[in-house]
Amino acid sequence: MDVRFTGDPKKDKANQRKHGFSFKQGEQAFNDPFARFAEDCEDPNGEMTYHAIGRIESQELVLVVYVDRSTDEQEILHIVSVRKAEDYEQRAYADQF
């Protein structure tokens, strides 16, 4: 099943200004065969948020915050934020090797 990514265009632009990464770049982290995934917390709308830590095409390690809005017919991941992985997140990624 192909994954469809969604995201709020206004949040995407704000994310680019604040963190220097677009949501489109964040999608690339899901292609990293060594990406790490973790449950985060419930957001104010009652949706569970998740973290993905993975490398993007520029080889930078990023953290993607997303919500799984999949249906029976399609996998849909809604990106909330993309930023450079913090030191402890980089260690969590590297610890698997």
**By three-state DSSP, how is residue 85 classified?**
coil
Name the DSSP letter for residue 30: G
State the DSSP H helix or E strand holding residue 27, giving kind and residue range, or none if neither: helix 23-27
**Domain harbouring 52, CATH code:** 3.10.450.530
- Indicate the pTM of the whole model: 0.93
* Gyration radius (Cα) of the chain, Å: 13
Q: State phi, psi for 29 to the nearest 5 degrees.
A: -60, -30
pLDDT at position 1 is 63
Domain range spanning residue 61?
A: 3-94
- Report the domain count for the chain: 1
The pLDDT profile of the chain, 97 residues, written as one tens digit per residue, is 689 999 999 999 999 999 999 999 999 999 999 999 999 988 788 889 999 999 999 999 999 999 999 999 999 999 999 999 999 999 999 999 8
In 10 A of CB 12, how many CB atoms? 18
State the DSSP H helix or E strand holding residue 57, giving kind and residue range, or none if neither: none
pLDDT at position 42 is 85
Q: In this structure, what token pair is assigned to residue 68?
A: 């799984």
pLDDT at position 5 is 98
